[in-house]
Amino acid sequence: MSPARSGLLAIEDDRRIQEFLAAALAGHGYELLHAETAAQGLRLANANKPDIVLVDLGLPDRSGLEVIAELRRWHRGAIIVLSARSQESDKVVALDAGADDYLTKPFGIGELLARLRVAERHLRARGVDALPKTLEIGDLAINLEAYRVTRAGADVHLTPLEFKLLAVLAQQPGRVVTHRQLLREVWGSAYVESAHYLRIYMRALRRKIEADPARPRVLQTEVGVGYRLVLPADAVAGPD
């Protein structure tokens, strides 16, 4: 397809996952490097400066969480966590520690490519005023500068906190934002444990902007983790 888009480093000791990544990404223009241990991964990351690092949370020599903390000190690219179901709580810790996103094993090709696209878009936008001021998702338009939201051209009236919540998600479309991150950004650091606020405001927000609030397409729940605002281009069709 396209010429090399991004350099990827996968720090993952599971051979099957490594082989899956190689097969899934073949022909998509990514340059893929493999490491099987934390030590080897950190060495390769330092030497090759990959755009995106995929980090398995269960590595043989050190914990993936330590690798993320170490990487965050000098790695400027994105970090995507690869976690097993048994590492659900570590996944949230990893995101709060600076990982950008996660994939829960087993994951499909569609989901992998969608996460990589989101990470690449954020890397391009970082430090540049590249995010559009108005985000259009179907008939929904979110104008972050004018504090204005419309659906099919009609104004949607949001409270200041509802708008702030929507804006935090809209500023990083496609990316998962944890409960703690949302509570800190919208309500302040004293409220990071007040998850019920988030549930109440999210419900109100969905009622105003989702075509079917019971089956939200724009503001998606990541169970036990947080929420993400999904652009149509990043939607992953069906269970894969």
**Under the rule (CB under 5 A), what is the footprint of Ca ion?**
13, 56, 58
Min dist CB 194 to Ca ion, Å, is 34
Min dist CB 84 to Ca ion, Å, is 7
Nearest to 54 by CA among 63, 39, 41, 73: 41
Say if strands 134-137 and 140-143 run parallel, antiparallel, or are unpaired. Answer: antiparallel
216 φ/ψ angles, rounded to the nearest 5 degrees: -65, 135
Closer CB to Ca ion, residue 32 or residue 156?
32
Closer CB to Ca ion, residue 69 or residue 204?
69
Segment (H or E) for 154: strand 154-156
Min dist CB 60 to Ca ion, Å, is 7
Which residue's CB comes closest to Ca ion?
58
For residues 206 and 216, the answer to whether their CB atoms sit within 8 Å is yes
Closer CB to Ca ion, residue 56 or residue 90?
56
Min dist CB 15 to Ca ion, Å, is 10
Closer CB to Ca ion, residue 59 or residue 142?
59
Min dist CB 70 to Ca ion, Å, is 17
Q: Please tell me the distance from the alpha carbon of residue 32 to that of residue 27, in angstroms, as a whole number.
A: 11
Tokens 């108005």 found at: 134
Q: Cβ–Cβ contacts within 10 Å for residue 43, how many?
A: 12
Instruction: Outline where the chain has alpha helix (H).
Output: 15-25, 38-48, 64-74, 88-96, 109-125, 160-170, 179-186, 195-209
Closer CB to Ca ion, residue 56 or residue 162?
56
